[in-house]
Amino acid sequence: MAHLGGAYCQSVSALVKTQELMASFPLSKRPFRPLELSENDRRHFHTQATELLGNALQEYEEFALIRHRQIDRRRWKPVKSHENIAVYRESRSYAASRSLSVEDEESLTRTLVLGPSGHRRGSRSSSSSGGSGSGSISLPAHQATELELLTGWGLSATEAREQKKRAKSRSVSATNSMEQLPTLLGVGNIIGSLDDVMYGVAAPDCASMALKNAYSHDDVLDGDVLSAIEGPSQRSPFRFLGIKWLVKSTTTGTVKHKLVSPRDLVYLEATGVITRGDGVRIGYQIMHSVKLHGCPELLDSHGVVRARCESVHLFVELNDRTVDVFLKSHVTPNGNISESAALQSCANSLLYCSKTVHCSQDKKLMWRLQCSANNQNARKPEKVKATHCSICNKSFGFLRQSVECKLCSNAMCSKCTVERTLKTVDTSGNRRHVSKFVSTSVVELCASCVATNMQTSALMLAREEVMSGRFGPIQPSLLKIFQASVNIMRVHHFNQKEALEEAAVLSPETLEDATTVNPTWTIPMDEVVSPNISLQ
């Protein structure tokens, strides 16, 4: 009994300590010194992100075109699903056989070419001490391999089986030592436009990260942008390339999992939209853990275990209202955590994409409310007391009170009022202190404004955010063109691309892209992925 009582006290103490650690997040002061990246570092990260994107696109094309979006049920086992997106994990046996087949292929090729003694077959050297090329016959590696396969020279069946057993043992041992979770695959579709999805995905600054995490409901405790290599621009408002930091709890409903320490990630993130050669637009989000001297582990100072993650999200525009989703993730949680809890936590992170459109709609609404408030403060119109509801046209009275729409300021009755709960983050702050606290407010809107918000272009509002200077300074000439394009859109009902082209013709300056971060260091961007891939 004494032993059980002691174990219980230790569990309670550990639970209290873990809860105290998690309660300290989000941190009011940034845990790392300002991260300064050299130009070579920035180019390296840009190249790395481009390569990761290229690999992901190849995997998606194999899944969509060759496998016709069909899941191999022997390889992939279901973990979790939400709405139209399902997450699967790779079976251990398939992962072991896959790594084994790669190792066997390399070993077989090496043995066939070099032979058991390590000398290349098909090459006969002269015993004389003459010139190095005298008396030698050398076949190309691929020809030697073909000849040796045809003659049946190589490993015996028994030797091959023994080598396979040894390789499998090494593969399992390596997997256990890395503590890597099974590969996760997410597939499905999202109802909405690609621009809506990417407006919910993109988070180029700390405030955007906090807002996105609030909508994800993914047990994210803290996060920050440590270094922005490339930020959003007028042409590419969803573009971001930089280093981020994220803290995530692994709590679930059981006390056992609540004893697990939070995990943090320091990772390279890249987001944006590219256009394939056939005109198909593809949104992407890449996360890849990096090890930087300026970002030490926080286990001793904050009780956080450093994890590793390699994740890619692809969003392929099938039509105006449907986006195909392809997600893949490799996570090494490190420390003491059960595989089931870690898998559920990682699956939840992947499933956030199903909430991106909802996040985008609320972000659009908040931006329009902010712009409306600024316009009303500038005009300060005289208010006239309304007598009828602007929606149903019924008269106001004792039983029918008047409510003002926060967006258009029209009067409406309570039955025509739509209440929306919105989340906001204070965007003020500096490099050492930044606000990450999300506040919630309920706003009253008319049904007409809600419907208009659904149809409003997320791409247009994202560009307006960029041109407002929120993410960095804007070139005056580009701001003039953008303001002219907005006026053209309102007067002539052009789409945004047509309006920008018309505004560029009317303006003496040329219409060029404005990078809002590191304007002196830019990499040329190519909108079409053919034949080379370029981040947007």
- Predicted confidence (pLDDT) per residue in 67-92, tens digit: 898 999 999 999 999 989 999 999 88
Please give the structure tokens belonging to residue 223: 């996060």
Instruction: Provide long-range contacts, Cβ within 8 A and 24+ apart, for 21-27.
Output: 21/261, 21/262, 21/302, 21/303, 21/304, 22/221, 22/249, 22/251, 22/262, 24/302, 25/221, 25/222, 25/247, 25/262, 26/210, 26/221, 26/222, 26/223, 26/436, 26/437, 27/222, 27/302
Q: Is residue 331 domain-resident?
A: yes
- Looking at 132, 159, 179, the residue that finishes a domain is 179
The whole-number pLDDT of residue 340 equals 83
Q: Of the residues 325, 351, 377, which one is the last residue of a structural domain?
A: 351
The model's confidence at residue 534, banded by pLDDT at 50, 70 and 90, is low
Residue 218 lies in a domain: yes
Q: Which residues pair with 227 in a beta bridge?
A: 243
Nearest one of 245, 253, 251, 238 to 284, comparing CA atoms: 238
Mapped onto helix, strand or coil, the DSSP state of residue 207 is helix
| Shared domain check, 189 and 301 | yes
**Which of these ranges, 36-40, 260-264, 494-498, has the smallest mean pLDDT?**
494-498
Q: What is the CATH number of the domain that holds 61?
A: 3.30.530.20
Q: Are residues 316 and 238 in the same domain?
A: yes
Residue written as tokens 């286990």?
A: 299
Q: Is 64 in the same domain as 79?
A: yes
Q: Which residues are CB-neighbours of 122 under 8 A, at least 6 positions away?
A: 137, 138, 139, 143, 144, 147, 148
Nearest to 403 by CA among 393, 394, 395, 413: 413
Residue 235 lies in a domain: yes
Pair 66, 329: CB distance under 8 Å? no
240 and 332 together in one domain: yes
Write down the pLDDT at residue 231: 93
The residue among 65 and 216 whose pLDDT is bigger is 65
pLDDT score recorded for residue 462: 94
Summary mean pLDDT of the chain:
74
Residue 195 included in any domain: yes
- The pLDDT value recorded for residue 147 is 33
Which residue type does 188 have? G
> Is the per-residue pLDDT at 441 higher than 70?
yes
Q: Identify whether residues 63 and 211 lie together within a single domain.
A: yes
pLDDT reported for residue 479: 53
Write the pLDDT tens digit of every residue in 395-427. 887 667 888 999 988 999 888 899 999 988 876
For residues 192-203, give the mean pLDDT.
96
Tell me: do 276 and 325 sit in the same domain: yes
Confidence of residue 214 (pLDDT cuts 50, 70, 90): confident
Band the pLDDT of 161: cuts 50, 70, 90: low
Q: Kindly indicate the confidence band of residue 108, based on its pLDDT and cuts at 50, 70 and 90.
A: very low
Question: What does the block give as tokens for 421?
Answer: 């709960």
**Section 322-334 average pLDDT:** 94
Residues 40 and 158 in one domain: no
pLDDT(117) > 80 = no
pLDDT of 175: 43
Q: Supply the pLDDT for residue 513.
A: 43
Nearest CA-CA partner of 395 in 416, 413, 383, 418: 413
Flag whether 371 is in a domain: no
The greatest distance separating any two alpha carbons of the chain, rounded to the nearest whole angstrom, comes to 115
Q: Which residue(s) pair with 81 in the sheet?
A: 86
| Domain count along the chain | 2
The mean per-residue pLDDT over the stretch 332-348 comes to 85
User: What is the four-CA torsion angle of 420, 374, 462, 198, rounded to 10 degrees?
Assistant: -20
Work out the percent of the chain whose per-residue pLDDT is above 90: 36
Angle at 389 between CA 383 and CA 393, to 5 degrees: 130
Q: Do 101 and 171 have their domain in common?
A: yes
Residues 165 and 273 in one domain: no
Is pLDDT above 70 for 145?
no
Within 13 Å and on the Cβ side, how many CA atoms surround 38?
A: 4
Residue-wise pLDDT tens digits, 266-304: 999 999 999 998 999 999 999 999 999 999 999 888 889
Residue 315 pLDDT grade (very low, low, confident, very high; cuts 50, 70, 90): very high
Q: In whole angstroms, what is the distance from residue 509 CA to residue 475 CA?
A: 11
* Letter string b/e over residues 229-263, b meaning 16 or more CB atoms within 10 A of that residue's CB: bbbbbbbbbbbbbbbbbbbbbbbbeeeebbbbbbb
| Mean local confidence (pLDDT), 347-367 | 91
In percent, the amount of the chain with pLDDT more than 70 equals 62
**Exposed, middle or buried: residue 463 (CB in 10 Å: 0-12, 13-18, 19+)?**
buried
Asked if 269 contacts 289 with a C-beta cutoff of 8 angstroms, the reply is no
Tell me whether residue 399 is in a domain. Answer: no
Out of 351, 373, 388, pick the residue that ends a domain.
351
Task: Check if the beta carbon of residue 324 is closer than 8 Å to that of residue 277.
Answer: no
Query: 32-46, 149-163, 375-389, 518-532 — which is least confidently predicted?
Result: 518-532
**216 neighbors 200 (Cβ within 8 angstroms):** no
pLDDT of 112: 42
The CA distances from residue 36 to 44, 233, 244, in Å, are: 14, 22, 13
For 398, list phi and psi in degrees, rounded to 5.
-65, -40
The pLDDT tens digits of the residues spanning 442-479 come to 999 998 899 999 999 999 999 999 988 888 776 555 55
Of residues 387 and 118, more confidence is placed in 387
- The answer to whether residues 197 and 159 belong to one domain is no
Q: Same structural domain for residues 228 and 86?
A: yes
Does 81 map to a domain?
A: yes
Confidence of residue 26 (pLDDT cuts 50, 70, 90): confident
Tell me which of 306 and 150 has the higher pLDDT.
Answer: 306
Strand-pair partners of 496: none
The larger pLDDT score, comparing residue 259 to residue 402, is at 402
Say what the pLDDT of residue 166 is.
Answer: 53
- pTM for the model stands at 0.73
Q: What is the mean pLDDT of residues 192-199?
A: 96
Supply the range of the domain harboring residue 152: 94-116+145-179
- Reported as a pLDDT band with limits 50, 70 and 90, residue 504 is very low
In a domain, 308, yes or no: yes
Residues 6+ apart with CB under 8 A from 309: 265, 267, 287, 288, 289, 329, 330, 331, 332
163 and 186 share a domain?
no
